[in-house]
Each structure stands twice: as structure tokens, then as C-alpha cells.
Amino acid sequence: MPASSVDTFFACSLMVILIASAMVSTAKLVQPYLNDLTNVNGVDRCSGLAEYLLLDSGNPSNWGRTENTTPSTFGIAGKSLQPYALDPDKVSRLNSENIFSLTYQQLLAALGTADMSLNIRIQPVFQVTIDLVSHQDLENETLYTFQVATTKSGFPVSTRLSCYVAAEPYTANVISWTDLDGEGTINATLPNALNGTALLAVFAKMEAYPRMMAVTVYSFGHNSETPIPNRTFLRLSPLAHTLNVSLRNSNSEISEAYVFTCSYYFSLSPTASGNQSLEYDIPRLLDVSPKILVVNGNNGTTSFSEWTLYPQIPLEIGADFSDPNTKSKAIALTYVVSIDGVLYDAMATCRSVPQENA
């Protein structure tokens, strides 16, 4: 199938799914399983459980925004009346990288399904991969060339690329594309006066259907041998439009913080500070886009650039179904969901646990 036909197929398929979802009342989908979920078996029970957690907002309904609240009933839907529109904060609290994350045990307790094992995975609808293929030393700067590929289930996807290259204290925007074969090139420069870990942040958007996008960040060493791994010096936890920064090392100092979207980027100013922690307000932007949050700093003579996403996707929480025996008895269901206007794939995998082994 030609790549252009693949793009059109994905876009049309998603529009059909969204229109069909909007025609179904949330109450009609959820109510049968609220009454007595234990009386439903097999695929129907797994489907009911998955739809319940994707369509219900839980109790309290604002549990995602209140950092120390554990919901008494579990659901990750947002305030929107549109089915399968999820809350970015509830989703972020399912990511173990977030300091305010729920545990799998808390999730099961809130669902009231001790006789079932569950796995929830949320990821972009297509994938972006980046490779640094060359760099060229110029008089006052270094030119880096990156190869980019965008694919969906092995098929190429044509996208527009909005990119940012960042290293303390430098930031620049670069625009590029991936072609009908899903391949593209990004050229970016950094001043030679800088050194340390640098970042290439990439937003890939399908122009035929702009709610389909994927985000990735590539770390590389500028005037240094290797980049320092992300989360070495900081723990970044966005929640309720606030970025919570926890310093892992008392010698670390933060110099700048930024928010990047598909169309804009802004520097952030700290709004609160504590012992080994800072807070930044995350602006509410009209741009339909995930947010990349970047914090630059140094640890003695070592410069670093660390990052996270808001909402914190991709994520996975729950039981491990990688074992062939466990996987063969599990039921997996995939849904297209919306978070702040951007589409994602959500997969719920569940398996009944015999009562005598529970």
C-alpha cells in the first residue's frame, strides 16, 4: 500500500472511531458494569473493566490534580463529556517517574477487582526514532545531522517536524519533514562555546490529521564524549500545570527551565522553592500539543539538560504479561483516546485470577 494511502487510511479510521464513540452515551457504556462487575466473565468482563476506567472519572473526580489523594474508585476520564477523553493529570499519576504516582496495588484496590490482574499502557499513535548520523566542526559552531523515521505498525507515516535543539543556555527552533517513506533529515547547530549534554526535541505531526502526533527527545554530547542519562540529577513531576523539580544531588544547581510545544516555547520562572526542590508554573497554551519540559543546570563543572513530558506518556502500569503462559490467558483491548485534544493508543490487558490463588 502506498505511504500516502496509509496516511489517509489511518486518518479516516480514527475519524470513524471518534464519531462512533461520540454517538454512544457514556452512562450506557459504564452503568452495566458499575452494578455488578463480578457477574461478567471473559472478554465481556475485560471490556467492561477497560471501558469503565476509560470512561469514568473516579472518586473524587479531581483525584488527579490533588497530589496526595488516593481515589476510592478508579477512573481516568477528564471533565469533558466526550467519551474516551482522559485527564492529563490522572494519566501522569500512572507513570512511575512521577513523584505523585499511584502504585499498582492502589489502582487495583480502587477498582475493586482483586480477582483480576491488569495492565494499562498508553502511547502515541505512531512512533518517532532519531539517530545522530554525523557532526561537522565549523568555525564557531558545530553542525549536527540527524536521521528521523516516523512509522505506524511498521508502515511509514509522512509528518511535519517541529524541532528544538537545546543546551545550557542556548535554544533554537528547526522545521523539517518526513517524506512518504517516513524518513527525514534534521540539521541543527550549537555554538562551540558550549559543552555538555544537549537535547533535540521533536514534535512529529500528521498534516492530514493534526490531532495525530508523536513526541520524542534525543540526548547527545556536545563537545563531550557521551551525554549524561536523563533523570541523573533531577526528578521532574508535572501535575496540575505545575512542574515539581526534585534535586537528586545537593551539588546540583538549576539555571533555566523551558516548556516546548509543537508551535511555541517559553522560559519558565520558579514560583516556589524548598529543600532540594523547586516549582514552576506550566502555562496553559491554546496549542494542541503535548508539552516537553526541559530543565538545564550544572553539577559542579558538569552541565546537564533533563526533560519530561506533560502528560507523561508513554506509560505502562500493572501486571507483567510477558510470560507466554500468562500472556496466552490474557485479554488485550485497544482504544483510541484523547488527552488535551491529542490522540493516543490505550491498551488494557487483563486476566482473571482463580479465587483460590487470589
DSSP per-residue codes, 23-39: TS-HHHHHHHHHH-GGG
Residue 233 lies in a domain: no
Q: Write the single-letter amino acid at 126.
A: F
Band of residue 325 on the pLDDT scale cut at 50, 70, 90: low
Domain assignment of residue 195, yes or no: no
What does the block give as the cell for 351?
Answer: 486476566
Residue 17 is predicted with a pLDDT of 46
Q: 83 lies in which domain range?
A: 3-123+314-357
User: What pLDDT digit, counting tens, does each position of 188-197 carry?
Assistant: 999 999 888 9
Q: What is the pLDDT of residue 326?
A: 63
At residue 355, does pLDDT exceed 60?
no
- Is position 229 within any domain? no
Sole residue written with cell 538545564: 296
CA 314 to chain centre: 4
Q: Is residue 109 part of a domain?
A: yes
As to burial, measured by CB atoms within 10 angstroms (0-12 exposed, 13-18 middle, 19+ buried), residue 142 is: middle
Q: What is the pLDDT of residue 10?
A: 55
Statement: residue 62 has pLDDT above 60: yes
Would you say 131 and 220 are in contact if contact means Cβ atoms under 8 Å apart? no
Least confident of 2-16, 20-34, 156-170, 222-236: 20-34
Note whether residue 76 is domain-resident. yes
Taking the C-alpha atoms of residue 231 and residue 98, their distance in angstroms, rounded to an integer, is 11
pLDDT computed for residue 22 by the predictor: 39
pLDDT per residue as tens digits for the range 273-303: 988 999 999 999 889 999 999 999 888 878 8
Tens digits of residue pLDDT in 170-189 = 899 999 999 999 999 999 99
Give dist(CA 178, CA 171) in Å, integer. 22
Residue pair 123/314 in contact by the 8 Å Cβ criterion: yes
Is the pLDDT at 25 greater than 50? The verdict is no
Nearest residue to 307 via CA among 290, 319, 320:
290
* Structural domain includes residue 52: yes
Contacts with 60 (C-beta within 8 Å, 6 or more apart), sequence order:
66, 69, 71, 72
One-letter amino acid for residue 177 of the chain: W
Q: Is residue 139 part of a domain?
A: no
Task: Give the other-Cβ count within 10 Å of 325's Cβ.
Answer: 7
Name the grid cell of 295: 530543565
pLDDT of 41 > 60? The answer is no
Q: Looking only at Cα atoms, what is the longest distance across the chain? A: 72
Q: Which of 82, 80, 85, 87 is nearest to 22 (CA)?
A: 82
- Of residues 279, 280, 286, 285, the one with CA closest to residue 267: 280
d(CA 230, CA 218): 10
Element (H, E) at 298: strand 291-299
Query: CA 153, 156, 162, 165 torsion: positive or negative?
Result: positive
**What is the band of 31 on the pLDDT scale with cuts at 50, 70, 90?**
very low
Task: Look up residue 196 and give its three cell numbers.
Answer: 555538555
Based on the structure, what is the number of domains in the chain? 1
Tell me: the pLDDT tens digits for 236-255? 999 999 999 999 988 899 99
Flag whether 296 is in a domain. Answer: no
Q: How confident is the model at residue 11 (pLDDT cuts 50, 70, 90)?
A: low
- Residue 6's pLDDT band (cuts 50, 70, 90): low
C-alpha cell at 152: 505506524
The residue-averaged pLDDT of 91-118 equals 93
